[in-house]
Structure 1
Amino acid sequence: MNAWTKERDGARYAAWQSAFREALQAAARGNAVFPTRNKVPAIPSPHQRGHNCKGQCGQPGHGVYDATTVAADVRCLFELAPRADGYGIACGGRMIGLDLDRKNGVDGVAELNRLATQHGFTVPRTLTVCTPSGGFHLWFAVPAGVTIPNSAGRLGPGIDVRGTGGYVVGPGSQGSSGQYVLHPALGEIEVLPAPAELIQLMLPAPIVRPARQYVPTGDKATAALDGLVNVVLGAPDGTRNDRLYWAAAKAWAHVMDGHIAACDAEAALVEAAVRRGLAEAEAQRTIASARRTTAGAP
């Protein structure tokens, strides 16, 4: 009996079947899904640790970046994950998740209510998933073009934001301590828009940069840097790092020619990358990599 057949025996196969069925239904509703095992991606990564591939290699095993709404692709992913007992739903784009923990003396629900009172908004009765630990996942719609980054505890104790590159565990999934289920009093209801005040709280704080310390040699220099910034700001999801690297390489070429100051090029590109949803440290690494590979960059 091969390993796949063994995995199909008993309760484990029943859990796999249930997760697969629920994932297919979620995909049919337009949610991009991928298989999980106890909340985490169930397909092993094809890369060694420390890689930064987000699926560009074309192989499965990239967690949320494998997520799909195509039924045939969902089946292929689950066939590669015989130990899956749940599924993740990709966040970012038009849907984000608010993960409210209620354990170890922390109450994310109370903290969210406190924020609502403090900032003058009402928490909508949106689609809500109850977690095994007693917490909740609140699903919210966000306007097109708004990029919400992931964060853990930044809004307050017990509140994690699942935005671009993040995911929530889908209802019907199994965790080590129980099942994720739709809120019994709400059921399968509409995903409502997040209040504007809450969106502002979830967005990264603007980065204050020092005033520019140089005088451009002419309008062309300013226009060139502004154009590279716009390339980063306009990067579609999945291309942000690549676009930033390309823009940084071009910027360092201008630095080499003496048209732009190095500190100004770096500050402008980092700020644009953070506005586009990248972490500041990640943006700095990408820009530094482009600088190293640009021959003669000072």
Structure 2
Amino acid sequence: MATTDRQATTLALAHALSAAERGLAVIPLSRTKLPALRSPHRDDPDPTPCHGECGRFGHGVYDASTDPARIRRLFAAAPWATGYGIACGLPPYHLIGVDLDTKSGTDSSAALRELALRHLFTIPETVVVLTPSGGRHLWLTGPRDTAVPNSAGRLAPGIDIRGAGGYLVGPGSRTDHGVYTTAPGTAHLAPAPCPPSLLRLLLPPPRPHHPAPPAPGDHGRGLVQFVLGAHEGQRNTRLFWAACRAYENGIGPALTAPLTEAALHTGLSEREARATIASAARMTGHRPAEQEP
């Protein structure tokens, strides 16, 4: 068993390095498909938000890298790893994963086809990864200035989305249930752009526009508190949602600084926060606050 595990780790590292050569940032995974390295802050009595600033491994997708030397160090720190994860939402692809599950008892492929017919989009030829349970992962690329949130079953039963802060199990990974493989005829493809109509479905739905938007006040404070309440994995999503609501209600420019400060308290960098708020402004048909007169 030990020899088999060592062979699986060696193969996983080789596949991870190959993915990194294509510009995909990777992390080692265990047989359970979870990050192989546990958080170094798990025993801290009062942990502060950390995305790897401490210099140690164990921060999930925040450890993800395309640097071969760093990837080798990650796998050396996790010799039990038998797979690798590919971080979504990062340049150059800003990967979006459409996970078509089979365990829910629904035909997720048929559900996706129905969505495509209803919303007039076509799923392009792209990388498809086959899961041991019979499911499929479709790889798509998103706009660089748009953070697609993770979701489970929101698009349709059996369809999960892997976006910013999430990861996909890479082909060649070995898990407790089997090996992930690339579907025949798709290994040579680059991830295809996400159709605009599908992208709109993946983003948080806009709230109805009110002709007489409320002035900054309790509503603005509520949006700031909403961002402050974010946990790891939902910081970008909450900030994007709050910023969209602020711009829709006419208080986007006034809330840019408070929302940025709230995001910094949750652990986002100022650059991440401002980029997310600017994306929300564009998504709601406004110019980012720093460009407005």
Same fold (TM over 0.5): yes
Note closer, same or farther for the CA distance 1:224–1:115 as it changes in structure 2 (3 Å cut). Answer: closer
Name 1:44's counterpart in structure 2.
Answer: 38
Among residues 231, 244, 253, which one is paired with 1:226 in the alignment?
A: 253
The higher radius of gyration belongs to 1
Paired residue secondary structure (1:161): strand
Name 2:26's counterpart in structure 1.
Answer: 33
Q: Is the 8 A contact 2:9 2:82 kept in 1?
A: yes
The answer to whether the aligner puts 1:82 opposite 2:85 as a matched pair is no
Q: Is the 8 A contact 2:145 2:279 kept in 1?
A: no
Among residues 207, 212, 215, which one is paired with 2:214 in the alignment?
A: 212
Runs (5+) with no aligned partner, structure 1: 1-6, 216-222, 248-270, 277-298
Question: Which letter does structure 1 place at the counterpart of 2:130?
Answer: C
Question: Which letter does structure 2 place at the counterpart of 1:205?
Answer: P
Q: Is the 8 A contact 1:232 1:273 kept in 2?
A: no
> Matches of 2:55 and 2:255 in 1, distance apart?
28
> Matches of 2:137 and 2:28 in 1, distance apart?
18
Correspondence list, 1:176-191, <5 A: 176-191=176-191
Note closer, same or farther for the CA distance 1:124–1:230 as it changes in structure 2 (3 Å cut). Answer: farther
Quote the offset at 1:207 in angstroms: 4.0
Quote the offset at 1:243 in angstroms: 4.3
Name 1:147's counterpart in structure 2.
Answer: 147
Note closer, same or farther for the CA distance 1:225–1:171 as it changes in structure 2 (3 Å cut). Answer: closer
Name 2:4's counterpart in structure 1.
Answer: 11
Provide the aligned length of Structure 1 versus Structure 2: 238
> Matches of 1:209 and 1:48 in 2, distance apart?
43
Quote the offset at 1:144 in angstroms: 2.0
Note closer, same or farther for the CA distance 1:214–1:187 as it changes in structure 2 (3 Å cut). Answer: closer
| Higher mean C-alpha deviation, range 49-58 or range 67-76 | 49-58
Paired residue secondary structure (2:6): helix
TM-score, normalised relative to structure 1: 0.70
Q: Is the 8 A contact 2:104 2:158 kept in 1?
A: no
Deviation per CA, 1:163-209, whole angstroms, max 9, x where unpaired? 10000000000111110000024333121111000000001112458
Question: Which letter does structure 1 place at the counterpart of 2:181?
Answer: V
TM-score, normalised relative to structure 2: 0.72
Q: Is the 8 A contact 2:216 2:254 kept in 1?
A: no
Among residues 52, 59, 62, which one is paired with 1:65 in the alignment?
A: 62
> Matches of 1:32 and 1:236 in 2, distance apart?
24
* Identity over aligned pairs, percent: 44
